[in-house]
Amino acid sequence: MSSSGPFPATGTHASPPSGPLPATGTHHTRSCGKTISTRFTGSTKHEQSLHGNVKPLQLAANGSSCLAYRSPVLKNQWNLSASSSSANAVTTFDDDEGVSTSVNEEKIGVLLLNLGGPETLDDVQPFLFNLFADPDIIRLPRLFRFLQRPLAKLISTFRAPKSKEGYASIGGGSPLRKITDEQANALKIALEKKNLNANIYVGMRYWYPFTEEAIDQIKKDKITKLVVLPLYPQYSISTSGSSIRVLQNIVKEDSYFSGLPISIIESWYQRDGYVKSMADLIEKELSAFSNPEEVMIFFSAHGVPLTYVEDAGDPYRDQMEDCIALIMGELRSRGILNSHTLAYQSRVGPVQWLKPYTDEVLVELGQKGFVSEHIETLEEIDMEYKELALESGIKNWGRVPALGCTSTFISDLADAVVEALPSASALATRKPEDTDSSMDLMHYLTKMFFGSILAFVLLLSPRLVSTFRNTIL
C-alpha cells in the first residue's frame, strides 16, 4: 500500500511534481500478486488529533498550558499565552446528545486548512510562485530572505512547463478544491447530527480560496469560537506549520482574532476513526488478490528535505512512522499479518530528502518480483511511477481509494472538532526575539554583499541559469 504525507486528507489530488504537496489518498500497487502499494497521507489531507494520543493545541484561560501534545516546531514558532475570554464556558458533553447547550449558544466556526492547487493550466505558474515564495518551503537564512521572491519566480518559471504537462494529463487542473469543498459540506452535516451547528470555512495556502479570504469571512460572520483543523494527518512545518504561521500573523495584527477563542488541532493521525478507516480500505484492497497473505503493503509518503527534520525539528517523519505503526497494528488485530515497507516520494532539487526514495524502492521490488502500485498524486503515481514500475518488472496494479468523504472518517473528524471546543481560548502572541538584532554590523553587511552577488549571478548568468534549470526539472 502506498501512503503519503504530509498531505491533506481529502482524496486523490494532483499536485505539481514539486513539493511539498497534499497527500491525497491511500493507494496500492501490486506486483505479481505480492505487493500492495499504498499512499499514506491521511484521508488525504487532514488528520487526527484527539481520541488517543493527539490533542488539540490548548491554552488554559488562567495562562497555564493544558497542551497534551505539541510539536517542538510549533512550540518554537508560537509564543502563546492565553487571555481571558468572554465566551460562554463549555460545561458538559454527552455522547448520546452531542454538544452542550452552552456551545450551541456560541457562533461556532471550523476552519479547514489545505494546500490548494491550480484549477486551470494558466494557474500553474502563479501557484508555483506562491508555493516557492513561502519561507517554510524554501528555507533561506534570515539574511538572505530578500532572495525568496526572485528565487520563487525563477523556479516557478522553469518548472511551470513540466507541471502543466502533468496537470494536462489529469484533466487540466487540480481537483483539490472540489474535494475539500465536498468534505467541508460532509463535515457540516456530521456536526449537525451531533447537535452542533457550525460554519465551515476552507482556507488554501497557495491558491484560491486563500486562508486570508476565509479569515475575512470568519470576521464578517462574527464567529465567537473557532476550531482550526488542518487537513493533514501528520504535522509538518511545510504544511500545517506554514498555514498556522499565516494564522499567527493575523492574530498578532488583528484585535478581533487576538480575542477570539481558538483551538488548533495540529495533527490527527492517531485518531481511532482515521486509523480504522485506513485499515478498512487496505483490507478491502487486499481481498482483491488471489493470495492476499503474500502481498507486501507499501506505504509511499510525500517527502520533505532531511534538514527539516534534523535541523528544524520537524516531527513529520516520526509522526508518519507512528501512523503507519498504528495502521499495521489495527490490521494485525484483524489477523492481517502482511509485511510492509515505507518510502518517500516527490523529492526535488539537489538536497537530500527523507529516505528511502519511492522510485528506488520500486525498482528494488521489481527486481525481486514484486508488483506494487503507489500514489502520490494522480499524475505522479498513476503515470510516472507506473511507468517506472512496469520497466522494473512490476506488472499488476491496483489502488486503494482515498478516504474522501467516507462516513466513518468524516464522523471522526466531527468528533475531533467537538472535542477541541473546550480547549478554545483567546490567544495572545508576542514576536519571538530577533536573534539577529545584535549581529555585528560588518558581518551583516558582508552577508548582504555576497547575497546580492549570488542573486545577480543566479538571475543573469545564462550558463548558471541553464545548470540550475536542469537541476530543478
DSSP element (H, E) containing 110: strand 108-114
What is the CA 145 to chain-centroid distance, rounded?
24
What pLDDT score does 370 carry? 47
CB 40 within 8 A of CB 5: yes
What pLDDT score does 388 carry? 65
pTM of the model: 0.72
CB 49 within 8 A of CB 268: yes
Average pLDDT of each block of 10 consecutive residues along the chain (473 residues)? Answer: 41 33 34 42 36 36 31 40 31 45 79 95 95 89 88 93 88 91 97 97 96 96 97 94 91 90 96 96 90 85 92 96 97 95 84 90 71 38 60 63 89 97 77 43 53 52 49 50
Measured in residues, the chain has a length of: 473
φ, ψ at 76 (rounded to 5°): -75, -35
Closest by Cα among 236, 166, 19, 191 to 99 = 191
What pLDDT score does 295 carry? 83
CATH classification (class only), 108-269+408-426: alpha beta
What pLDDT score does 400 carry? 72
> Do the domains 108-269+408-426 and 272-402 sit in the same CATH topology, yes or no?
yes
The 8-class DSSP code of residue 433 comes to: P
What pLDDT score does 177 carry? 93
Packing angle, helices 240-253 and 211-220, rounded to 10 = 40
DSSP 270-337: T-HHHHHHHHHHHHHHHTTSSSGGGPEEEEEEE--BHHHHHTT---HHHHHHHHHHHHHHHHHHTT--
What pLDDT score does 40 carry? 42
What pLDDT score does 214 carry? 96
- What does the alpha-carbon distance between residue 402 and residue 13 come to, in Å, rounded to a whole number? 9
What pLDDT score does 104 carry? 61
Cis previous bond, 292, omega within 30:
no
- What does the alpha-carbon distance between residue 36 and residue 29 come to, in Å, rounded to a whole number? 4
CB 377 within 8 A of CB 14: yes
CATH 3.40.50.300 is the classification of domain 272-402: no
Q: Which amino acid is at 136?
A: D
Cis previous bond, 22, omega within 30:
no
The structural domains of the chain, with segments of one domain joined by +, span 108-269+408-426, 272-402
CB 29 within 8 A of CB 4: no
Which residue's entry shows cell 481511532? Answer: 272
